[in-house]
């Protein structure tokens, strides 16, 4: 079997943003369109508002505050229907003389929860002393009107039923288009065309400016990861007068058609896989005889799992499931040794392969102690952690881009990617097929340069599997005031992870507004 896995990374893989004409810069509204003041209260007050993370830091958890901000669903109708945006913050640890303001964070997606992101300590003491750290769930995500719609599993099953990804039959294409159309129609029926029309990034940016205003900041300080870089870049274009300092780490593509961007992502995952193979082969820690033979040897492992699935946390692990875990492990190069050990145990049929698969599953899917105990007791986990992410991810992606409506375009792109990337590819194209049948939305702009913004910082990782380094170079060139910081290692995003070469100059930028020297490049750790 040829593997070009449908591995369902949901919000983990950043989605693609393209569009048409640029917007003119907007002034911050004198009347915040019905936005109310944020009333902060402890997130973990025993009332069950937020679940206390068992592995969290008690002092951090005690400091964490939650609130909501009411914003217009349609910003052109400020007196109409509203949506409540969920926020969390940790107040600055320094005194009044040290505090600069708020530092707003976004973890990416589309579909990732900022409120959940802030559950654990982040950033250096200097940043935490000077800024209230604030994160939010964008509209349509988590506690900001998060939703689930349609049957994504049925659509994913249609992808799995493709026998040869390089030659999709007419019958297979019909199954794919039928399930994609059904998903899109179900979302429109469940949520309403009016709601879906207002979910795109343009309106997230407008919400972000109301958040800034409600926080009492004259100008925005912001760190956005992955898809969050698009939010930040578009904010600098639409609201340059209220932009202070923006860090855009793991930049997304904003200019080219989505199928071209999908090709970039597939190639980036393949390149990062090859970096992993070269690294572990040279160290003798993985079951591959060398980079040239690794794809064939990996396919044998996948075929064996298809014939006789393993288990991880009492869940079956076949070839596509393992590819999902591999893809997520590529996001963080610190997990590569664990991945190498697991693949070696699977290749050798080692007795410890089950324990290693359990550990890799926990690492890649973030299973905590409570979920582990529930699984051990045979209990179903509470809720579906991917339902909201999948729906919001699709809705934002479809809102932000101009997509082909001819399914043949998706087939051609998917087949071309499958021929070039043995493991990672067609799902990145097929995952966009519901957009061919999506309701009309306000399209996000392209061609913007944020020419009137103050200095901005773009961060790119050479071995980033999800947002290729070339995208960081492109965004830094597109934004007239941007400086590019390069990390020569691998993984998806890097700022705030404790690497002094990256963190120190970016910390200084956030504190002072002085961008790093052009050309800064940091070696792999």
Give pLDDT tens digits for 330-383: 999 999 999 999 999 999 999 899 999 999 999 888 654 444 443 333 343 333
Cβ atoms of 64 and 88 closer than 8 Å? yes
What angle is formed at CA 242 by the lines to CA 241 and CA 244, rounded to 5 degrees? 105
Instruction: Summarize pLDDT for 457-495 with one digit per residue, the tens.
Output: 999 999 999 999 999 999 999 999 999 999 999 999 999
Least confident among 92-101, 215-224, 251-260, 369-378:
369-378
* H or E element at residue 65: strand 65-72
Q: How far apart are CA 397 and CA 467, in angstroms?
A: 15
The reported pLDDT for the residue numbered 50 is 55
According to the model, what pLDDT value does residue 383 have?
A: 39
Report the distance separating Cα 389 and Cα 141, nearest Å. 7
> Bigger pLDDT: 58 or 69?
69
Percentage of the chain lying above the pLDDT 90 cut: 67
pLDDT, tens digit, for every residue of 21-41? Answer: 333 444 444 343 334 579 999
Residue 486 phi, psi dihedral angles, 5° rounding: -110, 135
Both tokens assigned to 322 = 């393992």
User: How far apart are the two ends of the chain, measured CA to CA in Å?
Assistant: 37
Contact 11, 110 (CB under 8 A): yes
Supply 435's token pair: 């957009």
In a domain, 302, yes or no: no
Residue 18 lies in a domain: yes
Region for 10 from its dihedrals, namely left if φ exceeds 0, alpha if ψ lies in -120 to 50, beta otherwise? left
How far apart CA 254 and CA 18 sit, in angstroms, is 5
> Under 8 Å CB-to-CB from 442, ≥6 apart: which residues?
197, 198, 200, 202, 203, 399
Does the residue 301 lie in any domain? Answer: no
Question: In the structure, what pLDDT confidence band is assigned to residue 46 with cuts at 50, 70 and 90?
Answer: low
Query: How many C-beta neighbours within 10 Å does residue 280 have?
Result: 21
- Position 57 scores a pLDDT of 82
Contacts of 46 (CB under 8 A, 6+ apart): none
Instruction: Give catalytic status of residue 427 as yes or no.
Output: no
pLDDT of residue 387: 46
Provide the pairing of β-strand 82-90 with 131-136. Answer: antiparallel
Higher per-residue pLDDT: 68 or 152 = 68
Quick check: is 408 in a domain? no
**Integer Cα distance of 236 and 479 in angstroms:** 9
**pLDDT value at position 373?**
44
pLDDT digits (tens, 9 = 90+) for 187-207: 999 999 999 999 999 999 999
Distance from C-alpha of 28 to C-alpha of 498, rounded to nearest angstrom: 35
**Cα distance between residue 333 and residue 404, in whole Å:** 35
Q: Percent of the chain having pLDDT more than 70?
A: 86
Choosing from 279, 464, 503, 507, the catalytic residue is 464
CA distances for 373 relative to 312, 366, 379, 381, 382, angstroms: 14, 14, 9, 10, 12
Highest mean pLDDT among 10-24, 51-65, 98-112: 98-112
Identify the active-site residue in 102, 179, 226, 335: 226
Total number of domains in the chain = 1
Which is nearest to 259 in space by CA: 108, 24, 432?
432
Q: Locate all alpha helices (DSSP H) within 401-495, ordered by sequence.
A: 407-420, 426-430, 469-478
Query: Containing H/E element for 196?
Result: helix 193-196
Report the candidate in 513, 493, 518, 26 with the shortest Cα–Cα distance to residue 228: 493
Task: Return d(Cα 236, Cα 102) in angstroms, integer.
Answer: 17
On the question of pLDDT at 20 being above 80, the answer is no
SS3 167: coil
Residue 470, Cβ neighbours under 10 Å: how many? 16
pLDDT at 14 over 90: no
CB 111 within 8 A of CB 396: yes
Cβ 431 vs Cβ 17: under 8 Å: no
Asked if 310 and 354 count as a contact pair (C-beta separation under 8 A), the reply is: yes
pLDDT at 185 > cutoff 50: yes
Structural domain includes residue 51:
yes
Per-residue exposure over 227-256, b if at least 16 CB sit within 10 Å of its own CB, e if not = bbbbbbbbbbbbbbebbbbbbbbbbbbbbe
For the chain, count helices (H), then strands (E).
Answer: 19, 12
Please say if 464 is a catalytic residue.
yes
Active site residue 226: yes
| Domain-embedded: residue 368 | no
Residue identified by tokens 């990672």 is 424
Average confidence (pLDDT) over 406-418: 93
Q: Exactly one of 221, 492, 503, 507 is catalytic; which is it?
A: 492
The burial class, CB within 10 Å (0-12 / 13-18 / 19+), for 60 is middle
CATH label of the domain that carries residue 464: 3.40.50.1820
CA angle 251, 252, 257 (to 5 degrees): 155
Residue 468 lies in a domain: yes
3-state DSSP call for residue 153? helix
d(CA 249, CA 483): 12
Tokens of 391: 């729906």
Question: What is the three-class DSSP state of 442?
Answer: coil
Residue 54's pLDDT band (cuts 50, 70, 90): low
pTM of the model: 0.86
Is the model more confident about 8 or about 254? 254
Is residue 403 domain-resident? no
Of 414, 486, 392, 316, nearest to 143 by C-alpha is 392
C-alpha pair distances (Å), 141 with each of 187, 479, 509: 15, 28, 30
List the single range of 42-46, 69-73, 75-79, 325-329 with lowest mean pLDDT.
Answer: 42-46
Domain, as residue range, for 219:
11-144+201-256+445-522
C-alpha to C-alpha distance for 302 and 273, rounded to whole angstroms: 15
């Amino acid at each position: 079997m040829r593997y070009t896995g449908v591995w369902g990374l949901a919000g983990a893989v950043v989605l693609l943003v393209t569009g048409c004409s640029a917007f003119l810069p907007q002034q911050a509204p004198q009347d915040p369109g019905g936005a109310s003041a944020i009333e902060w209260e402890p997130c973990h007050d025993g009332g069950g508002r937020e679940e206390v993370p068992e592995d969290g830091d008690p002092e951090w958890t005690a400091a964490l505050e939650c609130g909501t901000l009411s914003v217009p669903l349609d910003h052109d109708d400020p007196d109409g229907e509203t949506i409540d945006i969920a926020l969390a913050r940790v107040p600055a640890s320094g005194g009044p003389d040290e505090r600069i303001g708020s530092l707003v964070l976004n973890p990416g997606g589309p579909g990732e929860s900022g409120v959940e992101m802030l559950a654990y300590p982040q950033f250096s003491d200097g940043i935490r002393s000077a800024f209230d750290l604030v994160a939010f769930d964008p509209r349509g995500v988590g506690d900001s009107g998060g939703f689930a719609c349609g049957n994504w599993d049925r659509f994913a099953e249609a992808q799995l039923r493709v026998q040869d990804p390089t030659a999709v039959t007419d019958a297979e294409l019909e199954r794919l288009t039928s399930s994609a159309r059904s998903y899109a129609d179900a979302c429109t029926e469940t949520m309403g065309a009016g709601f879906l029309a207002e979910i795109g990034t343009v309106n997230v940016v407008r919400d972000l400016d109301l958040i800034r205003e409600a926080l009492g900041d004259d100008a925005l300080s912001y760190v956005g990861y992955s898809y969050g870089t698009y939010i930040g870049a578009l904010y600098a274009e639409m609201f340059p007068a209220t932009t202070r300092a923006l860090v855009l780490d793991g930049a997304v593509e904003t200019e080219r058609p989505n199928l071209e961007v999908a090709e970039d992502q597939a190639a980036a995952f393949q390149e990062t896989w090859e970096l992993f193979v070269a690294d572990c082969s040279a160290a003798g820690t993985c079951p591959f005889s060398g980079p040239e033979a690794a794809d064939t040897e990996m396919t044998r492992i996948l075929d064996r799992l298809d014939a006789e699935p393993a288990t991880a946390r009492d869940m079956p692990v076949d070839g596509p499931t393992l590819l999902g875990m591999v893809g997520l492990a590529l996001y963080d190069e610190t997990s590569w040794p664990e991945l190498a050990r697991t693949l070696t145990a699977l290749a050798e049929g080692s007795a410890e392969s089950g324990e290693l698969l359990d550990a890799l599953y926990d690492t890649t899917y973030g299973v905590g102690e409570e979920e582990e105990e529930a699984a051990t007791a045979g209990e179903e986990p509470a809720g579906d952690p991917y339902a909201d992410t999948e729906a919001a991810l699709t809705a934002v992606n479809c809102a932000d881009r101009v997509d082909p409506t001819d399914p043949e375009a998706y087939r051609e792109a998917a087949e071309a990617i499958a021929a070039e990337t043995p493991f990672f590819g067609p799902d990145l194209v097929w995952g966009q097929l519901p957009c061919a049948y999506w309701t009309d939305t306000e399209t996000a702009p392209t061609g913007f340069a944020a020419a009137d913004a103050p200095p901005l910082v773009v961060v790119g990782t050479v071995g980033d599997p999800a947002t290729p380094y070339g995208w960081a170079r492109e965004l830094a060139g597109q934004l007239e005031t941007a400086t590019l910081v390069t990390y020569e290692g691998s993984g998806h995003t890097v700022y705030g992870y404790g690497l002094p070469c990256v963190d120190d100059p970016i910390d200084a930028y956030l504190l002072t507004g002085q961008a790093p020297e052009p050309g800064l490049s940091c070696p792999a750790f």
